[in-house]
Structure 1
Amino acid sequence: MTRHVTNETPVAPPRPLPRPGPRGPAAREPLWRDLVGEVLRGERLAQERTIKDVAEAARISLPYLSEIERGRKEASSEVLAAAAAALGLSLGDLLARTHGRLLRLTSRHTGPLAAPGRAAARRDGFCLAA
């Protein structure tokens, strides 16, 4: 009996879909770029400034800043620092506001859905991984 041998790598089986949790179907984790864009746009609108004004002050093209605000582009730290500075913020301010938004959206230990009698978890750290 002859055996046919191939050099093909076995294909991993597909990952199972997330199971619904106690609060319903598993929610998609927010993307950092979406949150950064929301913070930038929110600050710009709070200052009643146009995207053109901020793009010019930051020396970023208007279409590129628009893409960042909509979460379509993953901006470099230099670009984020320039956009933040154009809005009167430091890069640290921008990242801290984005981090706060991320915690509010993803925290399982605070807010109305927290377990009764359970103390809110304290989160002082900040981690950004690529």
Structure 2
Amino acid sequence: MSNRAPDQARVVPLRPKAAGPAAPTAPRGPGRPGAPAPREPLWRDLIGDVLRGERLAQERTLKDVADAARISMPYLSEVERGRKEASSEVLAAAAHALGLGLGDLLSRAQGELIRLSSRHSSARSSGTAGSSHDGLCLAA
């Protein structure tokens, strides 16, 4: 039967226990066995990074930009942190509050996407020619 005392609960893990840190000599990294696949950046993270970067470059507060954009400060914070998928109207309002056009915001986010994607695509070994990423496509 069981070696457990009758009053002890049995714990069944739902996920396997994570292995401890890899040995310092173990090869790790992109393209190596056991290495995690690089995560593609999400559009909302890129947009948020651009908005926050521009706001900080202008030394403006969340409250100042949110008031100018006529959106709530907590919502703008969520957008900047990539927690919310903002509508095009909200993105345009936030961009205009920072002195940018919506196209400027999207162009900067696209540039960041290309920069980050080139890192990820060089880590992958798909055996096909890489794409140029010279266009921008948004879907709602």
Q: Same fold (TM over 0.5)?
A: yes
Q: Percent identity over the alignment?
A: 74
Q: Do structure 1's residue 57 and structure 2's residue 65 form an aligned pair?
A: no
Q: Do structure 1's residue 89 and structure 2's residue 109 form an aligned pair?
A: no
Q: Which residue of 2 aligns with 1:25?
A: 36
> Once the 2 structures are TM-superposed, how far is the Cα of residue 127 of structure 1 from its aligned partner?
1.6
Q: Do structure 1's residue 36 and structure 2's residue 47 form an aligned pair?
A: yes
Q: Which residue of 1 aligns with 2:137?
A: 127
> Once the 2 structures are TM-superposed, how far is the Cα of residue 21 of structure 1 from its aligned partner?
5.2
> Once the 2 structures are TM-superposed, how far is the Cα of residue 123 of structure 1 from its aligned partner?
3.6
Q: Which residue of 1 aligns with 2:17?
A: none
- Distance in 2 (CA, whole Å) between partners of 1:73 and 1:123 is 25
Is the CA contact (8 Å cut-off) linking 2:55 and 2:98 kept in structure 1? yes
- What is the one-letter code of the residue matched to 1:64? Y
Q: Alignment length, in residue pairs? A: 105
Q: Which residue of 2 aligns with 1:71?
A: 82
- Distance in 2 (CA, whole Å) between partners of 1:100 and 1:80 is 17
Give the unaligned 5+ runs of structure 2: 1-28, 124-129
Q: Do structure 1's residue 103 and structure 2's residue 114 form an aligned pair?
A: yes
> Once the 2 structures are TM-superposed, how far is the Cα of residue 77 of structure 1 from its aligned partner?
0.1
TM (norm. structure 2) is: 0.67
> Once the 2 structures are TM-superposed, how far is the Cα of residue 51 of structure 1 from its aligned partner?
0.5
- Distance in 1 (CA, whole Å) between partners of 2:97 and 2:112 is 21
C-alpha RMSD over aligned residues: 2.4
Is the CA contact (8 Å cut-off) linking 2:30 and 2:38 kept in structure 1? no
- Distance in 2 (CA, whole Å) between partners of 1:70 and 1:121 is 28
Deviation string, structure 1 residues 82-121 (Cα, Å, up to 9, x no partner): 0000000000000000010011001136xxx7xxxxxx96
- What is the one-letter code of the residue matched to 2:135? G
Give the unaligned 5+ runs of structure 1: 1-19, 114-119
- What is the one-letter code of the residue matched to 1:28? R
